[in-house]
Amino acid sequence: MALRCGGSWLLSGFRRVVGTSLYAQRLNFIPVRMSSSGPGDEVEEFDLIVIGGGSGGLACAKEAAQLGAKVVVLDYVKPTPLGTKWGIGGTCVNVGCIPKKLMHQAALLGEAIDDARHFGWNVPEKQVITHDWAKLVGAVQDHIKSVNWVTRVELRDKKVKYVNGSGFFQDKNIVAACLNSGQVKCFKGNKIVIAVGGRPRYPDIPGAVEYGITSDDLFSLSSPPCKTMVVGAGYIGLECAGFLNGLGYEATVMIRSVPLRGFDQEMARMVCEEMQERGVKFLHTTVPEKVVKNEDGRLTVHWRNVKDSTTGCDVYDTVLFATGRRATTQDLNLDKVGVKYDKESGKIYTENEETTASDIFAIGDVIQDKPELTPVAIHAGRLLAHRLYSGGSECMDYTNVATTVFTPLEYGTVGMSEETAMQKCGEDNVEVYHAYYKPTEFFVPQRDPSRCFVKVVCERCEPQKILGMHFLGPNAGEVIQGFAAAMKCGLTYKALKNTVGIHPTVAEEFTRIRVTKRSGLDPKPQSCCS
């Protein structure tokens, strides 16, 4: 796909031209049945077969092997329409959390350069500071490859067999793997764990597959994305738009309904307002209708407003679809072995990671109604291995799992949103404490702190057990992690207000929070030492 940025022609990589329906088949991983092992071929037997080499599958496999099980991991990455592939490790390592956080950090460093002038660093005022996209991508990909290598070494050291093949059930205990050579190898397992994760969805509109990209492609683009349309306002869409804007590329976010669905909506609104103030554009209540490639190689996106049916269009260099993900289960032959799953999302129904078929389990993003988070998959995988091979009884607790949205002003959260708490407990039974604050590091450069905000949602009756905590500001992930542990221990508002904060930090703002929404008082920032 050719991109033009600043008047120059840029080649972002080779894309095979495929039809939408053909790629839909590839994306949904409908298997191609090739010649399998013959009657005389050996079928290797294992205690545990893990289908999928992402964070959860690898954690389960390594833990099981440490406990004495004979384990094989089957993993294969089908290329995106752009041809993007990656190594073992799953979404998080290759096209998710890790490259996202590195690019987010790159954008934050751009802000820090300007701040540095105010702190006495002699950064030339008139010098134009530019960013080198290719150098960033190179550094990010070098790190990813090093992690891929370490992962392979760890599997070898722990005596876990790794097969680079796309696995699917031939029978309840037999899993076949399609190899690159076209050969199909079969493995017999006493227990089988499905950990295939998910892949981004493309909307069913003309030009989406042919000309669009997803987060699976973004982190390895050889040329800068330049003016970018991001379709979707979940955490992936907002994070990508945020760091692209921070790196100097014009970004527009298209939102069908609400941003950050499932998150606290007051916090979501503030996240978007902050992004807009920093230069990100938003198209609200809007959906794409088609993507057209122009003669100059750029892309025209046509859209429609879902409220008033008005239409519009604009020209972009890159169109990034962040419109949700689908579990990659359609090629597994789940119906054949009695594993029930949601036909729309592809996600598997489980209870304590057990599927509806005996001795077949599922973990991670592939299971229905559970958080799609790497640490969740890892923890669930390890606990499952102990239940299977060391007599363990502990099951994964999916409540009060913390997470952070790495937008320009980060949003960390654990527990219930305000809306969920009100719905489950009733408005009269919920107390909401809130406060604005100004980080100390914002004072010297006089950065705008107007959306640095904390919120604590708790029961109204004593001792006011805390139901949810929300933090908007610098280092949100680091802040919310400790409070997540406290909430696991039954944190109350009384305990929180009796906790002595570390001064001056942004995390201490949780310990200083006193104003309730019910009081109607202004939650303005307190003075530095009050």
**Residues identified as active-site:** 503
Alpha-carbon distance 99 to 102, whole Å?
A: 5
Alpha-carbon distance 366 to 375, whole Å?
A: 14
Secondary structure (DSSP) of 66-107: HTT--EEEE---PPPTT-----TTHHHHHHSHHHHHHHHHHH
Residue 104 tokens read as 């987010």
**Cα distances (angstroms) measured from residue 350 to each of 361, 387, 389:** 8, 15, 20
Q: Which among 60, 136, 145, 57 is positioned nearest to 94, based on CA atoms? A: 145
Considering all CA atoms of the chain, what is the largest pairwise distance in Å, rounded to the nearest integer? 79
- C-beta pairs of 127-132 under 8 Å, 24+ apart in sequence: 130/248, 131/106, 131/247, 131/248
CA dihedral angle for residue 524, residue 527, residue 528, residue 530, rounded to 10 degrees: -110
Secondary structure (DSSP) of 246-260: HTT--EEEE-SS-SS
The answer to whether 254 and 229 have CB atoms below 8 angstroms apart is yes
